[in-house]
Amino acid sequence: MKLVQIKTATVPLQSDISNAWVNFREMTGTVVAVVSDVRRHGYPVIGWGFGSIGRYSSTAIVRGRIAPRLLACPPSAYLDADGRLDPMRAWPIMLQNEKPGGHGERSTAVGAVDMALWDLAAKLEDVPLWKLLSDRFNQGRADTTIAVYAAGGYYHQAGGQSALQDEIKGYREAGYTDVKIKIGGATLAEDLKRVECAAQVMGGMKHVAVDANGRLDATAAHAYATALGELGVRWFEEPGDPLDFAMQAELSASHPALAFATGENLFSHQDVRNLCRHAGLNSKRDTLQMDPALSYGLPEYLRMLDLLATHGWSRRRCVPHGGHQFSLHLAAGLQLGGNESYPGVFKPFGGFADDTIFETGLVRLPDAPGIGIELQRELSACFRGLLG
């Protein structure tokens, strides 16, 4: 088995929506196809990956640094003793001659290629990725259903509260039991009305999480936390800057009854270690949302899980950001706490396989080999375009 070609391209995100910081109208993402010399039914076996959602394209880094390193090394460097592709061995090759720290967009570039390598490895084994991960890293254990929540409630240009209500109703009618909406982009009073509107549709505050996307300063975060604690929301996500662990620690100490969530903007196990050391989070109640596609891929995610275990965190407290199929496989094969879901937004990257079986907040994964991106029509069209 040999890697013969790595193709990459930038794809625009189809979402004219905003959170408290960012409008996604001009957001882009990276797609990567890793082509092997193995042929099945007359075609090469190809792994597909992409760089999740929320960071701009890192295509130039893939093309300029990551792909050339992999293609320049002998296959023995990324194959195991039985001659099978081993993405764990490919990982240090991708990061040759890179200084530690300052992770930036580099972690997304590696995450996208790593996803394609795992997709390829599972396809070569002819198993769905969750099965490969379960056998290799979880003693054959796996979950057959994964809890997901609908992440929406963005700030739209028009429509206001009635548009929000219609959106949340759509999630409930589609079978979602829990939702998350954005806050921090309006006044506290307006945001609380939005939260109450969502809770009314979903049948209670415990079914509604809120996300400020790191927008609030300490004073505003305390005001929101006080109000949200009284309401009893499911969790309060990224109140302040995601790297301001002292601020989070103070919030956690001041609002002990309120659950917090964070982690989608931590891109390395070193960042997660600092979170564990300094952020004062509650390992029995809070939620961690690191996204493997944004943060150097699965090998780094496994390091994060090991590190979290040493700090008393169960991996059931991990619910990755991103609403994509790669994390869904991790949630099943590594038995995480669930996964985010983006019904209807962030096309082509958001969403699962088109015919995903979904009931009362639970998803079942298809049995297709690899990640199953081929079963997600809009996203697979990007890859077909990439391959020409």
State in angstroms the smallest separation of the CB of 286 from Mg ion.
Answer: 14
Nearer to Mg ion, 131 or 180 (CB): 180
Closest residue to Mg ion using C-beta atoms:
211
Nearer to Mg ion, 3 or 345 (CB): 345
Torsion region of 27: left, alpha or beta (phi above 0 gives left; psi -120 to 50 gives alpha) = beta
Please, which of residues 197-236 interact with Mg ion by CB under 5 A? Answer: 211
State in angstroms the smallest separation of the CB of 194 from Mg ion.
Answer: 16
Residues serving a catalytic function are: 182, 321
Q: Are 32 and 60 in contact (CB under 8 A)?
A: no
With CB under 5 A as the rule, give the number of residues binding Mg ion.
1
State in angstroms the smallest separation of the CB of 262 from Mg ion.
Answer: 8
Task: List the alpha helices (DSSP H) in the chain.
Answer: 59-61, 67-72, 87-94, 106-125, 129-137, 160-174, 188-202, 218-231, 245-254, 269-278, 297-310, 325-333, 377-387
Closest Cα partner for 263 from 234, 228, 292, 224? 292
Nearer to Mg ion, 119 or 178 (CB): 178
Residues 291-320 as x/- pattern, contact with Mg ion by CB under 5 A: ------------------------------
Site for Mg ion contains 105 (CB under 5 A)? no
Task: List the alpha helices (DSSP H) in 279-369.
Answer: 297-310, 325-333
State in angstroms the smallest separation of the CB of 264 from Mg ion.
Answer: 5
Nearer to Mg ion, 260 or 313 (CB): 260
- Cα–Cα distance for residue pair 355/377, rounded to 1 Å: 10
Contacts to Mg ion by CB under 5 A = 211
